[in-house]
Amino acid sequence: MAAMEKPGDRGGTGLADAFGRRITYLRLSVTDRCDFRCRYCMAEKMQFLPKREILTIEELATLADAFIARGIRKIRLTGGEPLVRRGIDELVRLIGRRIGAKDDGGGLDELTVTTNASQLRRHASALAEAGVRRVNVSVDSLDPERFGFITRGGDLAVVLDGIAAAREAGIAVKVNMVALRDLNEQEIEPMLRWCAAEGHDLTLIETMPLGEIEDDRTDRYLPLDGVRRRIEEHYTLSPLDHRTGGPARYFRVEELGARLGLITPLTNNFCDGCNRVRVTATGQIYMCLGHEDRLDLRQALRAGDMAELDRLLDRAMRLKPERHAFRIDTPGAAPAVSRHMSVTGG
């Protein structure tokens, strides 16, 4: 283990790290598999995890309950693509029962999902019935050909139909767009206008150095401070106090009546307010997206040893680093973290 353990503060039954940050947000990956192969996220030929290593639906639900009992108030289901996971509707139902619960074990304020929307038409109703009120959908281009190129075969029409299904089910949609130099940067303002017209929030994201891919990320890295300046040449951006639990900083685009979020892991480190941890589909807890340090929760979970699971969560809090160390300024350099985003969850 690379990180050194530090005195932590359990804070009663809650989770707090050695820097005094309260951990109330879990991003729970349910699969590392995805039906897209986005160029900034995955290699074209991926080696996926053996199914025997993946937690069952029941194990994932039990793990979610254990985190809720320790003060987690928001859970986001991720992947890979979470909606390709067999049994996902049942998992959402099981976790959704904890929304607003006031029993001794605590409850959730919110359950959300990050998806590419390729399967959203089939699952939107079940998500809504389980209490999901918001989803994040990755849409990096509104041009069908460019979208297919970025995703290596994704069908934009299917994605847009999935978004429509979510709206029909009463689920709000936030569009996530990874800003990519010389690929989709000219689409950022049109995407902003489209989201405003459709009633969706838009969040722009800087590409992150996670996992080996065929492209050199330095060729595609587009700093969002420059993007923001270009947007402000045409629109007024007013800072907002709005927060959704993640790292985005939000602005109101006055002329459009729209909300724009910026996630800037490289140009504006956002770690001071980190309130989250990530757990993979195999039960590995990563205390930081930008570090390799992890602890294995699966053995304790499968043994039914909740006391040991609690001890591991306490240890995770002592190991959580103060900040990530992403860099993307050296052409051809190895990624800051060897695992792909699809392993940890977005």
Interval 187-223: pLDDT, tens? 999 999 999 999 999 999 998 765 454 465 567 889 9
Residue 217 is predicted with a pLDDT of 56
Q: Are 111 and 135 in contact (CB under 8 A)?
A: no
Residue 258 lies in a domain: yes
Instruction: State the Cα–Cα distance between residues 266 and 65, nearest whole angstrom.
Output: 34
| pLDDT confidence of residue 264 | 87
Q: Is 174 annotated as a binding residue?
A: yes
Q: Is residue 8 part of a domain?
A: no
The count of domains in the chain is: 1
271 is in an annotated binding site: yes
CA 210 to chain CA centroid, Å, is 13
- What span, in angstroms and rounded, lies between the C-alpha atoms of 69 and 118? 33
Q: What is the distance of C-alpha 23 from the center of its chain?
A: 16
Which positions ≥6 away from 23 have C-beta within 8 Å?
A: 14, 15, 16, 17, 71, 72, 275, 276, 277, 317, 320
How far apart CA 115 and CA 234 sit, in angstroms, is: 31
> What's 67's domain CATH number?
3.20.20.70
Q: What share of the chain is helix, strand, coil (3-state, %, to 5)?
A: 35, 20, 50
Give the pLDDT of residue 265.
Answer: 73
Q: Is 94's pLDDT higher than 70? A: yes
Single out the residue of 106, 73, 84 nearest to residue 34, CA to CA. Answer: 84
Does pLDDT of 333 surpass 90?
no
Q: Is 21 annotated as a binding residue?
A: no
Measured between alpha carbons, how far is 147 from 180 in angstroms, rounded to an integer?
A: 12
**Residue 282 maps to a domain:** yes
Q: Is residue 15 part of a domain?
A: no
Q: Using one digit for the tens of pLDDT, what is the confidence trace for 234-280?
A: 999 999 998 776 788 999 999 999 999 999 876 565 566 789 999 99
pLDDT, tens only, 282-326: 999 999 876 678 999 999 999 999 999 999 999 999 999 876 555
Mean residue pLDDT across the chain: 87
pTM value? Answer: 0.86
> Is 276 annotated as contributing to ligand binding?
yes
CA distance linking residue 92 with residue 70, whole number of Å: 20
101 within 8 A of 344, measured Cβ to Cβ: no
Q: Would you say residue 16 lies in a domain?
A: no
Write down the residue that tokens 């979610």 correspond to: 64
pLDDT tier, 60 (very low <50, low <70, confident <90, very high otherwise): very high
Residue 46's pLDDT band, with cuts at 50, 70 and 90, is confident
Is residue 114 annotated as involved in ligand binding?
yes
Q: By residue range, what is the domain housing residue 33?
A: 25-344
Residue 141 lies inside a defined structural domain of this protein: yes
Please measure the distance between the N-terminal and C-terminal CA atoms of the chain and give it in whole angstroms.
23
In angstroms, the CA 257 to CA 90 distance is 37
The answer to whether the annotation marks 195 as part of a ligand binding site is no
pLDDT at 2 > cutoff 70: no
Structure tokens at 62: 């039990």
283, part of any domain: yes
338 labeled binding residue: no
Strand partners of residue 28? 77, 279
User: Binding site annotation covers 208?
Assistant: yes
Is residue 229 a known part of a binding site? no
Q: Looking at the domain assignment, is residue 5 inside a domain? A: no
